[in-house]
Structure 1
Amino acid sequence: MNRDKNLFSRPEMLRMNIEILKKRGVEVSDIAEIAFRQQGKWNPDIAYQDCYDSVEKILSLRDVFHILQLGAEIDRLTEAEAFEGPIQEILATDLGMFGIDELFGLELSGMYGTIGKTNFGDIDVNKPGIVARLNSDGKEGKPACHTFLDDIVGAIAAAASTRVAQMENEIEAKKDPSIIEEPKLF
């Protein structure tokens, strides 16, 4: 990779995000499963594939790329004990009063509005699936740190769940013959 390059295409960002997730022990399917369960609470007819596709779509977005890459790097540097002073211990122990990791999650999930943030809050509190494992890894004496990644993964799942709901609402709205098709921006 060219070290001078700092702008990437959506396919490149998707690929790099999937790579960093895999390196940290997370698969796209792990995130899609959370999104599927989250949205399934409200709509039992949703398709898992829509959730999976939504996760991939979200992973291709520039803001998500920046959040995920930075968060994963902060976690990696924490594992390497590369920080100095009290911030090293705060990050390593995922101090509950720290909150900056949740800001990453709120920013990412907020791309899908208030419902995205609400879904993130639910996932952050209940820690389903891979989020629970990421959250507990560093706290069980393992040399892993997922202070940022658990919140980022939860936020991606929340955003994907919300995106699926929005897609379903759009399908429902288009049943009205007076709806005029809008151009697709994203």
Structure 2
Amino acid sequence: MKYSLNSKKVADAAHEWLINRGVRTLDIAEITYTLQREYYDSLTIEECLASVEQVLSKREVQNAILTGIQLDLLAEEGKLLSPLQEMIENDEGLYGCDEILALSIVNVYGSIGLTNFGYIDKLKPGIVNKLNDKSGPHKHTFLDDIVGAIAASASSRIAHRKQEEIEKKGLIPPSS
């Protein structure tokens, strides 16, 4: 029989692992809201939360969450081989695999997501800053970037949907 993992099991695990690492979907939605509020006067945190939930419903996103958190946990436990252990444990500046994993999320949502991710990665707003703090016992080398990518993707999703709404109302003629 061909191997197949139940999608609900993967989705539930990704959600549970985020919560266990101190990340709520509302935390991600707040970053999304911050990125988009100046462009859409009627934007609500509920819309942002719904967009985050849609991003989290994608299997590619769930896979990135599970992979990144697992690597962070292994680094905390000192269970990686050297020099990878030290690179992840210390979030070494030249180790960019954490950003590359996060970009796998952003790539689902286009170039706006990419620019939003760069902005989040630079400024580290909200929960991303908390996850990036190296003074605590937890290693979030991957998770801070993954959370930033989810917020950037949710933001991109909103931008695309709002553009569609504007065009449907006839406020901006469609491109030819």
Task: Report the TM-score, using the length of structure 2 for normalisation.
Answer: 0.91
* Residue of structure 2 equivalent to 1:156: 150
1:89-144 Cα offsets, whole Å, 9 max, x none, are 110010111011011122211211111000000000000000000001xx21x221
Q: Partner of 2:94: helix, strand, or coil?
A: coil
* Residue of structure 1 equivalent to 2:52: 55
Does the 8 Å CA contact 1:58/1:160 hold for their aligned counterparts? Answer: yes
Give how far 1:13 is off: 4.1
Distance 1:170 1:111 in 2: 18
* Residue of structure 1 equivalent to 2:39: 42
* Residue of structure 1 equivalent to 2:64: 67
Q: 1:117 aligns with which of 114, 117, 120?
A: 114
Whether 1:99 aligns to 2:96 is yes
* Residue of structure 1 equivalent to 2:7: 8
Distance 2:13 2:166 in 1: 35
Whether 1:168 aligns to 2:169 is no
Q: 1:79 aligns with which of 76, 87, 90?
A: 76
Distance 2:11 2:54 in 1: 8
Distance 2:156 2:42 in 1: 15
Unaligned runs of 5+ residues in structure 1 are: 180-186
Does the 8 Å CA contact 1:110/1:117 hold for their aligned counterparts? Answer: yes
Aligned residue type for 1:8: S
Does the 8 Å CA contact 1:58/1:156 hold for their aligned counterparts? Answer: yes
Aligned residue type for 2:95: F
CA RMSD of aligned residues (A): 1.7
Does the 8 Å CA contact 1:131/1:151 hold for their aligned counterparts? Answer: yes
Unaligned runs of 5+ residues in structure 2 are: none
Q: 1:143 aligns with which of 137, 151, 163?
A: 137
- Which has the larger displacement, 42-51 or 58-67? 42-51
Identity, in percent, stands at 42
- Which has the larger displacement, 126-135 or 17-26? 17-26
Distance 1:73 1:111 in 2: 22
1:2-44 Cα offsets, whole Å, 9 max, x none, are xx752414xx544322211001110000000000001113223
Q: Partner of 1:97: helix, strand, or coil?
A: coil
